[in-house]
């Protein structure tokens, strides 16, 4: 994200901002989907790796919108994308398999 000459500093800042919040949101969303007995189970390493993969989804989309959107719009887009990514992953891996 930092290769753009005009938006280099904002791209770095927005990337860190969105990635930090989206990783936490992805852990919560995946926990809500796989909830057992009203409790969110957290498998430390596995859930962190899954959250990093889920955070890559909005960061890839962010590259197309860089310089056109505000940080709040990027965060909102990331929240929606991660929720849809987690639902899609749940349907594909748990229901259809």
Spans of all domains in the chain:
7-91
Q: Residue 88's pLDDT band (boundaries 50, 70, 90)?
A: very high
Q: What is the pTM assigned to this prediction?
A: 0.81
More confident: 69 or 23:
23
E-strand ranges in 1-97 read none
The enclosing H or E element of 91 equals none
Q: What is the pLDDT averaged over residues 53-69? A: 86
Residue with tokens 């969303």: 29
Grouping H, G, I as helix, E, B as strand and the rest as coil, residue 3 is coil
Q: Residue 4's pLDDT band (boundaries 50, 70, 90)?
A: low
The predicted structure's pLDDT at residue 9: 74
The Cα–Cα gap between 92 and 18 comes to 26
Buried b (16+ CB within 10 A) or exposed e, 5-35: eebeeebeebbeebbebbbebbbebbbeeee
């Amino acid at each position: 994200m930092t290769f753009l000459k005009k938006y280099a500093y904002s791209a770095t800042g927005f990337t860190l901002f969105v990635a930090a919040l989206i990783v936490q949101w992805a852990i919560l969303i995946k926990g809500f989907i796989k909830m057992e007995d009203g409790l969110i189970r957290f498998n430390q390493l596995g859930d962190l790796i899954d959250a990093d993969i889920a955070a890559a989804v909005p960061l890839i989309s962010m590259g197309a919108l860089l310089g056109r959107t505000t940080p709040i719009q990027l965060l909102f887009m990331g929240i929606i994308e991660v929720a849809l990514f987690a639902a899609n992953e749940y349907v594909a891996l748990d229901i259809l398999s």
